[in-house]
């Protein structure tokens, strides 16, 4: 039977992020995405102008209706929350549906490059720590890892030239309860890497150097990890596929005039994710 993943995330008209990314990726990977929308926006919050319809008030109704219909899910995958109350609802959702065999993947979407996203609040960051503590796997970028662990982003990232850079990041990540952690988008002189920590194992996936940050790449990456894990891949193999898919999509974007706020050309690469079953 087709596996089902609840995707708790927003729907943004521009930015090719959150649900726009997850629904496409999971479907291509043979997983049914079941959206629990946190907000509907005209564009993601880094755009100069946008409007946002916060759906916090609708979330308990979704959860109750799904409970009444006795829905079952193979995964709960959470992304962007508009406020800390929504994270409370995500915890409630997990309490109701995270039975044996249901994976909780938390992408603790909060910020990048040492800063919180424009509309993100510190109170939500506290609630995110609790949610991440319940997860089977988390996919923070370096900024989000620092927020979760209390590490200082600027002092950690200032060591990027040192030989023990990845060990320092691994040491920080191991302070967290979660045993499977993929730290994404780690910038080094040579490129952008991902660090996959799984129990006692730590492996680095190295990628090309980029001068810009593209909207939605973290969401695409985590969505592929979610699909990969549900399709029986290890965290490392899932992250490797995710890294190659995102890398190719960025390369394709760079072939044409682009604006990084609008996201990457991933649509033509969805076939990279489709396995013949
Ligand atoms: O891709 C992360 C993200 C998701 N959703 C919204 C955002 C952002 C990043 O800014 O604003 C609404």
Q: The domain spanning residue 211 has which CATH number?
A: 3.40.1190.20
Distance CA 263, CA 103 (A): 28
If you search the block for the tokens 């002189």, which residue do you land on? 189
State which ligand 1 atom lies nearest to the alpha carbon of 21.
1
- Whole-number Å distance, alpha carbon 201 to ligand 1 midpoint, is 31
- Whole-number Å distance, alpha carbon 239 to ligand 1 midpoint, is 21
- Closest Cα partner for 210 from 105, 112, 96? 112
Please list every protein residue whose CB sits less than 6 Å from any atom of ligand 1: 10, 12, 17-18, 41, 44-46, 80, 109, 117, 215-216, 218-219
Q: Which residue's C-alpha comes closest to atom 12 of ligand 1? A: 44
Q: 59-116 pLDDT, tens per residue?
A: 999 999 999 999 999 999 999 999 999 999 999 999 999 888 899 999 999 999 999 9
Q: 124-180 pLDDT, tens per residue?
A: 999 999 999 999 999 999 999 999 999 999 999 999 989 999 999 999 999 999 999
Q: Is the pLDDT of residue 275 over 90?
A: no
State which ligand 1 atom lies nearest to the alpha carbon of 79.
4
Distance CA 56, CA 79 (A): 14
**Domain span at 81:** 3-274
- Total number of domains in the chain: 1
């Amino acid at each position: 039977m087709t596996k089902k993943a609840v995707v708790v995330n927003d729907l943004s008209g521009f930015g090719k992020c959150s649900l726009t990314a997850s629904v496409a990726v999971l479907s291509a990977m043979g997983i049914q995405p079941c959206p629990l929308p946190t907000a509907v926006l005209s564009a993601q919050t880094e755009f100069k102008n946008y409007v946002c319809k916060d759906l916090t008030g609708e979330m308990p109704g979704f959860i109750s209706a799904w409970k009444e219909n006795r829905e079952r899910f193979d995964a709960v995958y959470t992304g962007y929350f508009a406020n800390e109350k929504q994270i409370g609802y995500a915890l409630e959702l997990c309490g109701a549906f995270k039975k044996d065999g249901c994976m909780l993947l938390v992408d603790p979407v909060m910020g990048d490059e040492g800063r919180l996203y424009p509309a993100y609040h510190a109170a939500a960051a506290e609630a995110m720590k609790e949610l991440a503590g319940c997860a089977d796997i988390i996919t923070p970028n370096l900024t989000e890892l620092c927020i979760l662990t209390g590490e200082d982003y600027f002092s950690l990232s200032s060591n990027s030239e040192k030989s023990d850079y990845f060990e320092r990041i691994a040491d920080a990540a191991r302070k967290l309860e979660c045993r499977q952690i993929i730290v994404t988008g780690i910038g080094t002189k040579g490129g952008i890497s991902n660090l996959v920590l799984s129990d006692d194992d730590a492996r680095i996936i190295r990628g090309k150097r980029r001068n810009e940050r593209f909207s939605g790449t973290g969401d695409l990456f985590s969505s592929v990890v979610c699909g990969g894990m549900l399709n029986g891949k290890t965290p490392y193999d899932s992250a490797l596929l995710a890294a190659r898919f995102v890398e190719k999509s960025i390369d394709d974007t760079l072939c044409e005039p682009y604006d990084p706020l609008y996201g990457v050309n991933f649509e033509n690469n969805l076939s990279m994710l489709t396995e013949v079953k």
